[in-house]
Amino acid sequence: MLVAAYIGFGNSVIRYHLPYVNLRKDKVKVKYIYRREEDRALEGEKEREALYKDYIFTSRLEDILEDPEVNLIVVNTPNTTHVMYAKMALDAGKNVLVEKPIAMNYEETKDLLEYAKEKELTLMPNHNRRFDTDCLAVKDAIASGKLGRLIEIESHYDYFRQEHFLTEPEMVIVSGLGIHTTDQIVSMLGVPKRCQYDVRSVYFDSGADDYFDIDLFYDGMKAIVKTNYLVKTKYPRFIVHGDHGSFIKYGGKHNSDTSYTEPIQVKLEVEDESDWGVMEYVDEQGETHIEKIPSQPTDYGRIYDGLYETIINQAPKLVADEEVLADMKIIEEAMEACI
């Protein structure tokens, strides 16, 4: 059994961790949630905590660090504090799941991974977007072998969000959304041979990036990871081309909330067949086929399934260290390339 304590109680914990962990009570028990006293003192926060009767809320880090029952600490705090809290947890002999990114740069990430290895503990980022329904559909299409040798994959996460740049002109999306979408490609194809970057501020000349186009090159193929916050028309989430055919998937259901009322409940539902990805390919006899790839439900709790297998059953980590480092190197280079 994983006995977890959370450092932080923001939107990510409430929406993308606890609802999925609650579906795994045979594997994971949440014991503590650590919050700073000043956060707990804000108006309405005591009433909010009362909604989560199964957890112990505390403002003493010692409560979770010194509890021998706790074997997993989830760090869900501002990015600049990830290394500090992760090291405190490792020093206390706890395994650690850290919200992405693990650290602020490649060297910090490398050092922290090595530190966890020295402690013989598991440290892993929360790359839950590997389990988005559209990402899983791409993996299924590739695994079918019907597309033949892969030539190109395009990943698009596009929006039309002018208001973001009016209210948050310094927002940097490549290190926020970008680390998820590049990791999806790394999880499919491995570490790229080389990368090429086009990262720009289109809407404002503010240094913020509202557009990025990252090319990841592999033997005989490439993957394009692209986000533009000024796209008004609907565009495919993934486009895959092989030498036998193509696959297209539009964006799907990513979080099947049954209620926005806290505590949030989720029901893992398969999206409507009309939203399934479509594969068109030529078989060995030269005949063309068109097939839909059935979608799997988005289930961010699969990160915890992987942690359970690693911590309890000594299985390899779901997100390997070399993949974590590849992700961080790509994002660091992309941010340096911003114009």
> Of 73, 103, 126, which residue constitutes the final position of a domain?
126
- Tell me the C-alpha distance between 156 and 171, whole Å: 19
> Of 98, 126, 154, which residue constitutes the final position of a domain?
126
The CATH number covering residue 50 comes to: 3.40.50.720
Shared domain for 146 and 258, answered yes or no, is yes
Whether residue 328 contacts residue 195, with contact meaning beta carbons closer than 8 Å, is answered with: no
> Of 126, 144, 171, which residue constitutes the final position of a domain?
126
Shared domain for 86 and 163, answered yes or no, is no
3-state DSSP assignment of residue 218: strand
Shared domain for 197 and 99, answered yes or no, is no
Shared domain for 203 and 58, answered yes or no, is no
DSSP 275: G
Cα-Cα-Cα-Cα torsion 190, 191, 196, 199, nearest 10 degrees, comes to 80
Q: Does residue 321 sit within a domain?
A: no
Shared domain for 154 and 275, answered yes or no, is yes
Domain hosting residue 134, numbered range? 129-302+329-336
Shared domain for 84 and 97, answered yes or no, is yes
- Tell me the C-alpha distance between 329 and 332, whole Å: 5
Residue 123 buriedness (CB in 10 A; 0-12 / 13-18 / 19+):
buried
Whether residue 153 contacts residue 288, with contact meaning beta carbons closer than 8 Å, is answered with: no
Per-residue pLDDT of the chain (339 residues; tens, 9 = 90+): 999 999 999 999 999 999 999 999 999 999 999 999 999 999 999 999 999 999 999 999 999 999 999 999 999 999 999 999 999 999 999 999 999 999 999 999 999 999 999 999 999 999 999 999 999 999 999 999 999 999 999 999 988 877 665 555 555 678 888 999 999 999 999 999 999 999 988 765 656 677 899 999 999 999 999 998 888 999 999 999 999 999 999 987 665 555 678 999 998 988 999 999 999 999 999 999 999 999 999 999 999 999 999 999 999 999 999 999 999 999 999 988 887
Predicted TM-score of the model (pTM): 0.94
Residue 68 buriedness (CB in 10 A; 0-12 / 13-18 / 19+):
exposed
- Can you give the pLDDT at residue 175? 81
- Tell me the C-alpha distance between 212 and 145, whole Å: 30
Token pair belonging to 84 = 């500090």
Shared domain for 205 and 297, answered yes or no, is yes
Distances (CA, A) of 112 to 95, 124, 174, 337: 12, 10, 22, 25
Give the count of domains, the chain: 2
Whether residue 227 contacts residue 178, with contact meaning beta carbons closer than 8 Å, is answered with: yes
- Tell me the C-alpha distance between 153 and 318, whole Å: 22
Shared domain for 122 and 133, answered yes or no, is no
3-state DSSP assignment of residue 211: strand
